[in-house]
Amino acid sequence: MPIAVLPGRGVVEVAGEDRIPFLQGLVSNDVTKAVPGTAIWAALLTPQGKWLADFFILSDGERLLLDVEREQAASLVQRLTRFRLRNRVALRDVSADFVVLAAWGGSLPPPRSIAGPDPRLPEAGWRILGGTPVGDADEAAWDLHRLSLGLTDGSRDLEPEKSVLLEGGFDELGGVSWTKGCYMGQELTARTKYRGLLKRRIIPVSVEGGLPPPGTPVMRDGVEVGEMRSARAGHGLAMLRLDALAEGVVLSAGGAVLTPRVPGWMHLPAEKTPAG
């Protein structure tokens, strides 16, 4: 029942009495649901609806705390500050004040931590902000677990200013609210869903052979149909064209053989659902 310290994650604090309406107009999910004991998964988009960052929003009752890639924490503060205007909010990178952890397989958050169930899948466990590194597993163990579930990991799998949310499973995994009202980038996100415009998805793949580096072209019968994203120990994610998927399809990347493994939570057109 592992708990892993995630040194690659940081924390952004959003404080002040306008913190909820301020963030509500900017990110993809319903910030009003970010109450103590919960975690909300959301993304910040460009006005054109392209991915910039995603994070888990937790609350201690006095402030919102964004569990985000550590390398994105400072830039996220800068981006959000541009929209502060007359909102009574204060934004800070408080990564030095917290240890970010993930718990799964039946493990529970440590006492006195700020935590919520990972909102994407029950099997993903818990997102935790603590004061001390109490984990009994390392970041690699968590990485392998999330890859086995088909979950993306920020900029390792999504391209800033290029990816759209539905390519990364934000719809099925609860990273988008379709009812909360306007937010930055909403129009393209909604149009992609309701007009069926999605042409590619990040798909879990089994990897036989050496792990292809991120960006390695994925080939089918000599035709490029996508590219590798993150991978570890025989599990990987690849951005693939939907028209390249079929029952029993085998793909290649570098010297490795890839077998698409569509998880049960993922919704694809019926003719493009190779067994997971």
For 29-54, the pLDDT digits (tens) are 999 999 999 999 999 999 999 999 99
Buried-state track 241-268, b at ≥16 Cβ within 10 A, e below 16: bbebbeeebebbbbebebebbbeeebee
Per-residue model confidence (pLDDT) at position 274 = 55
Sign of the alpha-carbon torsion through 39, 77, 138, 135:
negative
Q: Strand, coil or helix: what is 261?
A: coil
pTM score, two decimals?
0.94
Per-residue model confidence (pLDDT) at position 250 = 83
Q: What is the pLDDT of residues 110-132, one digit of tens each?
A: 999 999 999 999 999 999 999 88
Q: What is the pLDDT of residues 49-88, one digit of tens each?
A: 999 999 999 999 999 999 999 999 999 999 999 999 889 9
Per-residue model confidence (pLDDT) at position 260 = 93
Of 52, 98, 42, the closest CA to residue 72 belongs to 52
Buried-state track 165-179, b at ≥16 Cβ within 10 A, e below 16: bbbbbbbbbbbbbee
Lowest mean pLDDT among 21-35, 169-183, 203-217, 238-252: 238-252
Q: What's the pLDDT band for 3 if we cut at 50, 70, 90? A: very high
**Contacts with 25 (C-beta within 8 Å, 6 or more apart), sequence order:** 83, 182, 183, 184
